[in-house]
Amino acid sequence: MNVQSYYKKLQEINKLAVSPRIIESGQGAYLTINGKELLNFCSSHYLGLAVDERLKKAVKDAVDKYGVGTGYRTLAGTHVLHIELEKAIAQLKGTEAAVVFTSAYMANCAAIQTIIGKEDIVISDELNHASIIDAIRLSQVKNKFIYKHTDAKSLEEQLKQASLLAQTPKSDGKTPVILIITDGVFSMDGDLAPLPQIVKLAKKYGALTMVDDAHGEGVLGKGGRGIVDHFGLLGKVDIEIGSLSKAFSTIGGFIAGKKTLIDFYNQKARQRLFSIALTIPDTAAALEAVRILQESDAVVKKLWDNVSYIKSEFKKLGFDVGHSQTPITPVMLGDEEIAKKFSVRLFEEGIFATPIVFPMVAKDKARIRVIPSAIHSKKDLDFAIKAFEKVAKELKVL
């Protein structure tokens, strides 16, 4: 191959890239870009914990006491803070145990790759998160079934085929594992997986269940315990994945479930054996975030008050806000160019809300995705609603 022309090709592709906005402040209710203060409507820090004084203090105290770095979990990297964090997460989720990783992407890879081999079977929602898709690839599983988005009927059709396949033992004589995998909250539309039906079907066909609750923790269920609690299914989902980067506003991911399963992951997950553990500041911040949720559900209530308010005001104005069941509020615009223009005009009006366009969503489903947080005041929301109305009238989309 001609290396020079290879780099040239890369250069051409790179030219098309849109460079991201550079944030010069913390990720609070507002943020600063190019010296301009903007209302923050696009981070997944649902509870505003990214700038919370309690998290800042927990990090400073932990760093003073323990320093920064840790190590590999199985060698010398399991710290008392990791154990405390895992206990706190399990307690919050209502599971027997939990294990943390450096991201939910890693947790998904570990959760699937460790228990699924070439001859097992996975059944996955067609709109599952990219990290799930990659994790399935990593497992090298041959039998992949995809069901229609949140469609229990389609899932059952796939399960029927899967359970026929599972009657033939693997080459080692063992029965193939069937694993159903779904996002809890789908982050483009804010809709939920039909978890009660999934659990019921899994039982009927002898399958394990896995839900990635990255956008559900800190948001759904009693005091933000997540989607499993929301549906009253505690103990009924085998594998729960969480991210510490969304509502918890730090970094990291976890698997929560029965102790036997978590012990197995602790022993075998390559993402834990061959990759570094969370650092001290990350672990301390995440632990404080989980504790804040355990102490009170006030912040989660405030989030939902804000969500109800902004959704109902948008609807009153005539916006189509989709069928979200979560704080993710898509303001549907359809046309990609309009969505981009809308976002630019909002920026000028002092609001940071990014357009979501193809390939993240279908070509005619462009939108502005609005994510209010618990630390927005009513005044902040009213300011935003006015700006949306003004821009929509200008662009003639209302």
Ligand X SMILES: *Cc1c(COP(=O)(O)O)cnc(C)c1O
Q: Which residues bind ligand X (CB under 6 A)?
A: 103-105, 129, 131, 183, 187, 212, 214-215, 243, 245, 253
Nearest to 328 by CA among 225, 185, 218: 185
To 10 degrees, what angle do helices 104-113 and 130-139 make?
Answer: 30
Q: 249 or 343: whose CB is closer to ligand X?
A: 249
Contacts (Cβ under 8 Å, ≥6 apart) of 119: 141, 142, 143, 170, 171, 176
93, 230, 246, 365: which is the annotated catalytic residue? 246
- Vertex 309, ends 365 and 32: CA angle to 5°? 70
Phi-psi region of 393 (alpha: psi -120 to 50; beta: other; left: phi over 0): alpha
Minimal distance, residue 186 CB to ligand X, in Å: 8
Cβ at position 167, least distance to ligand X in Å: 32
Comparing CB distances to ligand X, the nearer of 176 and 330 is 330
| Helix, strand and coil in the chain, % to nearest 5 | 45, 15, 40
> What Rg do the C-alpha atoms of the chain give, in angstroms?
22
Using the minimum distance from each CB to ligand X, give the nearer residue, 95 or 326: 326
39, 380 contact by CB (below 8 A): yes
Cβ proximity to ligand X, 82 vs 215, nearer residue: 215
Q: Which is nearer to ligand X, 104 or 278 (CB)?
A: 104
Which residue among the candidates 45, 79, 82, 215 is catalytic per the annotation?
A: 215
Name the CA dihedral angle for 332, 338, 342, 348, rounded to a multiple of 10 degrees.
Answer: 170
The pair of three-digit structure tokens given for residue 41, joined into one six-digit string: 């409507």
What is the three-class DSSP state of 157? helix
Catalytic one among 187, 249, 324, 373?
Answer: 187
Alpha helices in 183-240 (DSSP H): 195-205, 227-230
Query: Is 230 noted as a catalytic residue in this protein?
Result: no
Here the tokens at position 182 are 């779904």
Q: State the nearest-atom distance from the C-beta of 187 to ligand X, in Å.
A: 5
Q: Least distance (Å) from ligand X to the CB of residue 109?
A: 10
Catalytic residue list contains 246: yes
Residues 263, 114: Cα–Cα separation, whole Å: 12
Using CA atoms, how far apart are residues 99 and 89, in angstroms rounded to an integer? 9
Q: Is 189 or 212 the residue whose CB approaches ligand X more closely?
A: 212
215 classed as catalytic: yes
| Strand runs labelled E in 177-229 | 178-183, 208-212
Closest by CA to 271, choosing from 80, 119, 139, is 139
Among residues 224 and 253, whose Cβ is nearest to ligand X?
A: 253
Return the active site residues. 187, 215, 246
